[in-house]
Amino acid sequence: MSGVPPLSFYDEIGGHDAFVRLVDAFYRGVADDEVLRPMYPEEDLGPAKERLTLFLEQYWGGPTTYSDERGHPRLRMRHAPFHVNPDARDRWLAHMRTAVDELGLSPLHEATLWDYLQRAAHAMVNTFEPSGIGPAAGGRDAATGPGTASAGTPRSHLPVTAEPPRGGDLR
Ligand code: HEM
């Protein structure tokens, strides 16, 4: 078997179709969420769906289209304009949990994906204030506000900075 590259996690769980199904199911939950939905700046959730799909595909060893189009992920910085408190995180994770369940993965794949999503979601929290107070509560347009300061937080211990499965740097 020498010379045959190991399958990536992306391939193992079903490639593009699996990630599209995951993110579609997740955004069905977001669309009905009274806290999360107003955070998304665009009327149409389609472009946000596309960005999350491309990011997750890249992270798990699929095509690198995300960075080709968007550059370095820098997810904590990109979330700085949004009010990501523990309530928002828990809602995000609840919709993701439903979406992961719908994929019907093997226990090992399910645990691997879920572990990552939980750690990443905890790392994205940028305020402990209730809604409306805290970093750039006005959303993305307020990206130059105080919220961007969190982009400078040391991140070496955060899950989104961890080496992705095939070794790229996706902070
Ligand atoms: C913890 C709760 C979270 C909340 C409330 C949240 C909310 C948001 C919002 C409002 C956006 C802007 C939508 C857009 O226009 O793309 C966004 C973008 C994004 N989020 Fe999250 N997010 C959370 C966690 C995460 C996690 C854990 C990941 C990765 C595993 C993630 C990945 C992304 C990506 C890739 C984008 C698009 C970034 C870009 O290229 O502009 N988010 N998120």
Query: What are the structure tokens assigned to 37, written together?
Result: 């939905």
Q: Measured from the CB, is residue 18 less than 6 Å from ligand 1?
A: no
Q: Where are the domains of the chain?
A: 9-161
pLDDT in tens, the chain (171 residues): 568 888 999 999 999 999 999 999 999 999 999 999 999 988 899 999 999 999 999 999 999 999 999 999 999 999 999 999 999 999 999 999 999 999 999 999 999 999 999 999 999 999 999 875 445 544 554 444 444 433 334 333 344 544 454 443 344
Q: Name the CATH topology of 9-161.
A: Globin-like (1.10.490)
Q: Measured from the CB, is residue 40 less than 6 Å from ligand 1?
A: yes
Q: Measured from the CB, is residue 136 less than 6 Å from ligand 1?
A: no
CA atoms within 13 A on the CB side of 120: 24
- Report how far residue 116's alpha carbon sits from residue 2's, in angstroms, rounded to the nearest whole number: 30
Nearest to 77 by CA among 166, 18, 14, 158: 158
Query: What are the structure tokens assigned to 71, written together?
Result: 């550059």
Maximal C-alpha separation, the chain: 57
